[in-house]
Structure 1
């Protein structure tokens, strides 16, 4: 563990202050920080890694050890982004001079963790660094185990106004592939595709490209898994509450399944990224979901970053949109004869999902079943 960084670039505001207690300058600063945070998060999670801030955030997102130690952060950063200098075996004095300085990485880490409140260190480490809020100092807990893996889950929902409500998800259990976005952008460029992939926007002229995109994504990420939870809308008076319930069940049961099958055993960090809708309702939903997961007290599960992110330029969110849209289409329009039905059939065949396995009469959220659709799960 490194020595405390007394120069951490954190915001000089009372984090517990109400908006009306802040002056105009402070409010403007908070708004700027929130915008920068949102932009960074969307960039990192969509694979737009272009500068030192993006790269540090990328490492922090994928490594709990790097969140806690600037030495681990620096090694991972050099190993991922400066391989022309660092070969992972040895480094000379001259080569060391060419690597990004640990102090520069530490300052950027501090900004991301202390200002943006993203990818934070364990509470014990934060206390040691002197940046833990006073109200949490006495309750500081021990470090999490080193070398933790992750459950990175992308989530989308659909069907609020239809017969069936579905919440779909894509589970990434390994570190992000840095060149994934580049490969997909090159694929789009070669085919002169200038639109995003959303199930509701499928047309006859685009159907073949949608199928090819889904296939291309899975060829780059053959290890991803899909999970979905479905409920009959009949009798559900509060659709937003039902979505919160379903998403909570999806994550809890999904984690237990991954652990019990041995595919991705605990302990692990859980991060959930939800397709952005409305800022206020998104945040409320996220806080409720995270609280419910924490109440389960699943041994070895550390629920950390839960955020709503934009689907713009994010291929992961676009893929889960297509998967969830395909489920929704076949449930709500079973006899359809539209290009959407053609694409839906293709996607469900790709993930080997049998619609007949769904209990279409079930309207009890708590009794809903999570269907696991896993690539290479055998």
Structure 2
């Protein structure tokens, strides 16, 4: 009897050990998946496209139609990345055989959407594909119309511990191979100059001013259709600075969309995608959810929310340029008569964009009354 109990205990111990081993393997697998997801997201939103998975994700990021249809995905992929084989209008049987296979693109798309949970299809499509989450199956479904354009917005903030809070943003309204080529050209320029650091205003020193100016000018030259938007408030009376930053970011996005729509520069309907400079995971997620909830509550006709994510500034020239822009405004707000190398660079950025610092109301400390300044690049000096 004792031997039987001993054998039973041993078996139970083996089972427990086996279960723990399985749990550990699952944790390792999930961590690997999350690292792959994060790496892919950072590559895509920075335009640092390396392989076929990056290219498929890039198309999905910029096309709601491609998220919902593998035919649209393939058509956009061929047009963007294989234009030497496909003119974007007609296709012959011979050309079709030389293009990346539809089945390969579909398989990669499924992994990106189902495993990485990025660039999701509409719920109706997910239901058809059999991947709609259980808690959504009985909900009313509202699909996005076809052919939607994008507002891709990159955001940075500054001034939490200073007299003025500022949130700056870069708005990109069109996507395609040209953005990838521009990113590659900037990367080549950076390597040719033997630059092994990121471009951040806080890291500027007197020996790097010329390179920082060259980088900013080259970025503007390669991206003539971009715009910058800024919102500022006097930083007094706010007990919760993070909440104030969240409010400012919401107003920047809401008023920015209104401006693009009302001027006819990028009219609705469109999808709004937002990329924030990564800080702390928990606070970033809370900020993002608060902003999305407030924008959703406004029920802006024709505005559909896409991905809102915090991303690394590493190799992301868009985030770095927003950092330089916001840092320059912040410098002149707090040190208007300064004359050292940082003031020189701040003046260069502001002059390049034709911005009048005197237009900022420095006395305003009401977030809801804050003005969004829209700066469109007209001419690179």
TM over 0.5: same fold? yes
Q: Distance in 2 between matches of 1:98 and 1:181?
A: 27
Aligned equivalents of 2:195, 2:201: Cα separation in 1: 16
What's the counterpart of residue 342 of structure 1?
Answer: 344
**Structure 1: how far apart are the matches of 2:51 and 2:148?**
26
Q: Deviations over 1:273-319 (max 9, x none)?
A: 00001111111111111111111110110111000001011100000
1:78-103 CA deviation, whole Å, 9 max, x = no partner?
Answer: 11112232233433333322211111
1:93-115 deviation line (CA, Å, top 9, x unaligned): 33322211111111111111111
Give 2:280's match in structure 1, choosing from 278, 281, 306. 278
> In the alignment, is residue 373 of structure 1 matched against residue 380 of structure 2?
no
**Which structure is higher in helix share?**
2
Unaligned runs of 5+ in 1: 1-21
TM-score by length of 2: 0.90
- Which of 179, 193, 206 matches 2:195? 193
Secondary structure of residue in 1 paired with 2:314: coil
What is the CA RMSD across the aligned residues, in angstroms?
A: 1.5
Distance across 1 between alignment mates of 2:172 and 2:88: 26
Q: Per-residue displacement from partner, 1:123-176 (whole Å, max 9, x unpaired)?
A: 111111111111111224232111100000000000111110100000001115
- 1:46-85 matches, cutoff 5 A: 46-85=46-85
Q: Is the 8 A contact 1:244 1:285 kept in 2?
A: yes
Counterpart CA distance in 2 for 1:168 and 1:111 is 34
Deviations 1:253-277 (A, max 9, x none): 1101111111110000000000001
For residues 281 and 343 of structure 2, the distance between their equivalents in structure 1, rounded to whole angstroms, comes to 32
Q: What does residue 207 of structure 2 align with?
A: 205
Deviations 1:51-95 (A, max 9, x none): 111000000011111011000001111111122322334333333
Distance of 2:94 and 2:174 partners within structure 1: 33
| 3-state SS of 1:178 partner | helix
Partners of 1:163 and 1:232 within 8 A in 2: yes
TM-score by length of 1: 0.91
Structure 1 Cα separation of the partners of residues 87 and 260 of structure 2: 34
Structure 2 match to 1:34:
34
SS in structure 1 at match of 2:250:
helix
Q: How does 1:219-258 map to 2 (within 5 A)?
A: 219-258=221-260
Instruction: State whether residues 68 and 125 of structure 1, in contact with CA within 8 Å, keep that contact through their aligned partners in structure 2.
Output: yes
SS in 2 for 1:215: helix
CA displacement at 1:365 relative to structure 2? 1.3
Q: Is 1:45 equivalent to 2:38 in the alignment?
A: no
Q: Is the 8 A contact 1:127 1:140 kept in 2?
A: no
Deviation, structure 1 residue 192: 2.4
Aligned residues: 356
| Contact 1:227-1:370 within 8 A present in 2 as well | yes
User: Could you say which residue in structure 1 is the equivalent of 2:18?
Assistant: none
